[in-house]
Amino acid sequence: MQSETKSRVDQLTSPAGHPVTVLRFEGDIASTSKEAVLGTYQALPKDSVRLVLLDFTKVDYINSSGIALVIQMLIEASNSDQRVYAFGLSAHFTKVFTMVGITKYAGLFPSQAEALAAL
Amino acid sequence: MSQVKSTSVEVRLPSRLGYEKVAMSTAAAVAKLMGFREDRIEDLKTAVAEACINAIEHGNRLNECLSVGVVLSAGEDALEVKVIDDGKGMKCLPPKPDMDKKMHGEEDPRGMGMFLIQALVDEAEWVAGTHGKSSYVRLVIRLDKVAE
């Protein structure tokens, strides 16, 4: 019933010259998304990845279990001295992420270009 | 729709995660017919989804022999949603989630559902059923009149 979460990793460079690892998600982000969300993040090399950018452009549905997975990722990133940012959330999920306090630990941007320009 | 004082729509969901989306879609369709703004419909969808997830996971404990009832009652200026399960109901509401505590490992990263429900609708109450059955959460979202 829930659409499977797909994830993909891209390596980009910000205009300021910093390497940025982009995790692109597609589908629903719910309790069944652990491998796609946390598994994909945990497979990144901890010693070389410093900036992580989450792409939610193709995500339609995020529930509280999905939010918990994002929080778990933020905890692990914080423990590894990585900084996490996100873009592509709908206005509604931007509001939800702000309500729960995620924006204190992950900057949100409307688009990839705006996120990269800030990094 | 404007002539109708109150209209009810009922949906029964299997206690299987993912089926909350059926309730979300139904609630969104009713809210759209009532004239809710798109942003309020999104609020309602998330609140209904979280209420159904709680009913499936905690109320019915993922027992697929049990179903979750969703009753949508469209009034003139508000939509009431009752999500009914076969659990014992909530004895007390959990505290508001604290992101700082979660980040420092002092609080479970999960447990946002009830907070989101309360934050996104105008009224939310949890009612424990008699004899430990038919507990429900009742949500109300009011129709804000758009200035013409």
For the whole model, what pTM was predicted?
Answer: 0.93
* Interface with A, mutate which of B57, B103, B104, B120 (most A CBs under 10 A): B103
Rounded Cα gap, residues A25 and A59, in angstroms:
7
pLDDT in tens, A77-111: 999 999 999 999 999 999 999 999 999 999 999 99
Rounded Cα gap, residues A85 and B87, in angstroms:
39
| CB atoms A63 and B50 under 8 Å | yes
Q: Which residue does chain B place closest to A103, by CA atoms?
A: B99
Three-state DSSP state, A49: coil
For B12, the token pair is 């029964």
User: Containing H/E element for A76?
Assistant: helix A64-79
Domains, in order of start, for chain A: 6-118 (3.30.750.24)
Task: State how far residue B49 is from chain A, nearest Cα, in angstroms.
Answer: 8
Q: What is the pLDDT of residue B90?
A: 79
Average pLDDT over residues A44-49: 94
Q: What is the pLDDT of residue B147?
A: 43
| CB atoms A1 and B19 under 8 Å | yes
Q: Which residue does chain B place closest to A101, by CA atoms?
A: B99
At residue B6, does pLDDT exceed 50? yes
Domain ranges of chain B: 7-142
Q: What is the pLDDT of residue A1?
A: 65
Rounded Cα gap, residues B32 and B12, in angstroms:
21
C-alpha count within 13 angstroms, C-beta hemisphere, residue B38? 3
Q: Which fold has domain B7-142?
A: Heat Shock Protein 90 (3.30.565)
pLDDT in tens, B83-93: 999 998 877 78
Find tokens 């490992």 and name the residue.
B105
| CB atoms B39 and A92 under 8 Å | yes
Give me the interface pTM, i.e. the ipTM. Answer: 0.93
At residue B11, does pLDDT exceed 70? yes
